[in-house]
Chain A
Amino acid sequence: MKDEEYNLINSIKGQEGVTLDRREFIKLMGGGIFILFSVGEPFAFQERRQRRGYPQDFNAYLRIGEDGRVACFSPKIEMGQGVFTSMAQMLAEELDVTLSAVDMIIGDTALCPWDAGTFGSRSTKYFGPPLRQAAAEARAVLFQLAAEHLSTSKEKLVVKEGIIFVQNNPENKVSYAQLAKGKKIERHLDKKPPIKHYSKHTISGKPTDRLDGRQKVTGEAKFTGDIRLPGMLYARILRPPAHGAKLKSVDISAAKEIKGIKIIQDEDIIAVLHKHRDVADKALGLIKAQFELPEFKVDNQTIFKHLKDSAPDGETVTEAGNLEKGKALASKKFEAAYFNHYVAHAPAENHTAVVKIEGDKATVWASTQAPFRAQGDAARALGFSLENVRVLTPFVGCGFGGKNSGGQVAEAARLAKLTGKPVQVAWSRKEEFFYDTFRPAAVIEIRSGLNSSNQVVFWEYHNYFAGSRSSLPFYNIPHHRVLSMGGGWGGRGGGSAHPFSVGAWRGPGSNTNVFAMESQIDIMAEAAGMDPLKFRLLNLTDKRMKRVLNAAAEKFGHSFSKAPSGKGYGIACTDYLGTYLATMAEVKVNKRTGEVRVERVVCAQDTGEVINPEGVRMQIEGCITMGLGYCLTEEIHFKGGRIMDENFDTYEIPRFSWQPKIETVLVDNPEMPPQGCGEPAITSMGGVIANAVYDAIGVRLFILPMTPARIKEALKAS
């Protein structure tokens, strides 16, 4: 499968970043038992690490400390997705300690191994299994030590909650803490010790409350903007009114009058700094600046034509059979185009960074999904070596791909250097909308056909700028070709077509692709005279996909009819990087106002072995809720490089009153290693809601978001 993961990481500038070498690390950490292990990653990541000269033998650690506490050093950050909890569960399970004995150390570039970033629903999938193996190795080391300590053989020992004892003689015991005391044992995991069978699990696989819950309900949880340092200044930076605008003149005289204000003018940056953020805001408002605006060439109305006109040549994503043969087999042919607009990440926490410089060393706190990238950003801005920049990642308030990058780190670094003080840069909401890397606007064109037995016999898929993820047909289609024009979120070959930055947005590419594919499938189901569930099952051989469809249908409880039935039922399914899911929804459409009300959503997901069922359900629910936004309202309004949406008054995201009843089914598949779950369920939302709207009113929307105005317009045209 050709995936844009590779494009993504290669397109990220400044992925470099270093951690302490092993000896330094061990010295810093004091005594204990260390297990160094290697996280199996996709080839592109391994290659990247080698090219950068990182150690190839290990890239992760865990430690059993002299106090018996177990520390996991995770380069994966916590932005709400719950790895803080699921990683700890995996570790505690394999090591036979209580969950409360585990400390998660996350996103610290000095202590955690190098990592490209937290994205792509990959934390549990790629970090989890080797973490388990390392824990199993640690357990084996502890058993060896215990056997010596208790003068017995390993085979006679058992362990419970961090205490090893002789079977049938529980008084003859020793704790992990005692065993680790005064020791400095370093083990490198090269063989794979056996791990527990899932049927023996007592911590992993059980619904577990968030370990960060208490900190977050008391206000104790620290986010980057909560860092307070003596002498710290808050910076606000003069911004252009549009991307591509040039500063013509600036008058800072009024801003200068504010007591305690510091003004920096250095090359392309004009910033005001003050010990209180709101006073810096006020000063920024007093700067009079004139900009020369570029002529705008494209806006919301013209973007789709512009994208098609700017598209580079297509690359084949997948191909099978012969399209011409397929077309000859078809008795019914279909052709449709699908569109989606730019969508913002709109995280709760704006991009924020704090930088403190001491001599030739800098400490950076950043709201980032990629701490090692932030390390590179800061080092470049400061002219420091990577070794001298340490990035700490506090809790991150939403990411969704929007915090894979962000200029705030370099800005804070530059200003800290120029002022000689610790500096915090926290973007305003307007800056957040302006500098966001939007989900790309995109166009998908599909030609397809059915034979007389209602089997899909050909599928020709032209993808402009969405990105290729989830664009491989999983239906049984003998003749198909999928072309991708413009690199999607990775930007390769297509970045310049957009009037501003685009990037990965939760389930990148897939949201657009599943909307188009699953809409097209429904169009064919209707033409076949079949209900959309039966039609899908007829055209599927993939057992996992059939299983999630049947599981969702059972929970949904209503039978589908040939659309439009007037009932407002929709269906969509997909395979997102190995996680399979089927979503079913019930909607009501107000034909007078054009408003869509989503009443109920059922999602059945097979994500392999489940580590935290409660966590998986939370992710599915969050995906469904957030997904309603791009289905119904979320659309960036712009004129060229000018972003018209500046806050949540015009950019509408889902609210309490939108909330449908959500039911989740975790389809049991423990034999398969854990797959990702932070993104999959959002990707089917466009398809399922578009199909449900059609079933309700007999009018199909080919564009996202399906705003009331667009629905009324489509009704009028029908």
Chain B
Amino acid sequence: MEKIFSFKLNGKNVRLTASPERKLLWILRSDLEHTGTKFSCGEGFCGACTVLVNNEAVLSCQYPIQNVNGKEVLTIEGLQKNGNLHPLQEAFIQHNALQCGFCTPGMILGAYSLLLKNPQPSYRDIVEDMEMYLCRCGSYNRIIQAIQTAARTKKGYKS
């Protein structure tokens, strides 16, 4: 049974009709054509589909649209402000913390949620928090460095 859902996507109001059990990943990628959020393992084992719902990182491939109703969703497309990159995006570029770039949107949003909770994470904090995010190209060390660099900038993390 389809229902109407409304939520905020990167600060803009969205209203759409969908079956309540449909997953946020496909609502974003397919219905709303926001393709920055990636489909990789499809079962919640890799983190590539991570987005923020009310500032909490969620695996959008597992997250039903009915749980999004009335909430705020942040995806990689919403991190830039007035064409300026977020400090995490800057730091990922600065450290070349990516190769193929497919896991990157999920990595950045995972890191964003970490820095919201813990603005000055230790190396160990970063590893523990990011452990579920997979990067097959093996950029982990550089990603850790990028998160540390972003944490050191004083601009604040909230987009």
Contacts and interface: CB of A to CB of B under 8 A. Distances in A.
Q: Do A and B come from one complex?
A: yes
Nearest to A650: B45
B139 A228 contact: no
B99 A218 contact: no
Given A397-B102, A655-B131, A648 B41 contact: yes
B96 A213 contact: yes
Contacts of A209: 93-94, 96
B36 A621 contact: no
Given A429-B40, A648-B41, A655-B134, A217 B30 contact: no
A426 B25 CA distance: 14
Interface in B12-50: 22-23, 25-26, 29-31, 33, 35-43, 45-46, 48
A622 B89 contact: no
Given A278-B26, A655-B134, A618 B100 contact: no
Interface in B57-89: 75-77, 79-80, 85, 89
Contacts of B137: 80, 348, 398, 622, 626
The winner among A81, A223, A275, A398 for most chain B CB atoms within 10 A is A398
B144 interface: yes
B141 A659 contact: yes
A383 interface: no
Contacts of B128: 657
Contacts of A225: 29, 35, 38-39
Contacts, number: 176
Contacts of A656: 126-127, 130-131, 133, 140, 143-144
A276 B30 contact: yes
Given A213-B92, A655-B131, A219 B75 contact: yes
Contacts of A277: 26, 29-30, 39
B35 A621 contact: no
A398 B141 contact: no
A622 B139 contact: yes
B138 A348 contact: no
Interface string B86-113: 0001001110101111111100100000
Contact of A653 (B89, B92, B93, B136): B136
Contacts of B75: 219
A197 interface: no
B43 A217 contact: no
A424 B37 CA distance: 17
A429 B134 contact: no
A67 to B, nearest CB: 23
Contacts of B48: 348
B89 A218 contact: yes
Contact of A398 (B89, B102, B105): B102
Interface in A649-690: 649, 653-659, 661-662
Contact of B138 (A396, A429, A625, A649): A625
Nearest to A348: B102
Contacts of B30: 234, 275-278
Contacts of B105: 219
Contacts of A661: 141
B9 interface: no
A489 interface: no
Interface string A637-649: 0000000000111
B100 A348 contact: yes
Interface of A: 79-82, 209-210, 212-223, 225-226, 228, 234, 275-279, 346-350, 395-398, 400, 426, 428-429, 614, 618, 621-626, 647-649, 653-659, 661-662
16 contacts: A80-B100, A210-B96, A210-B98, A214-B93, A217-B89, A223-B38, A225-B39, A347-B136, A348-B103, A395-B101, A398-B136, A400-B136, A622-B99, A622-B137, A656-B127, A656-B133
Given A348-B100, A397-B103, A659-B141, 7 more contacts: A80-B98, A219-B35, A278-B25, A347-B136, A614-B96, A621-B139, A655-B134
Question: What 3 A-B pairs have minimum CB-CB distances, sorted nearest first?
Answer: A219-B36, A625-B138, A397-B102
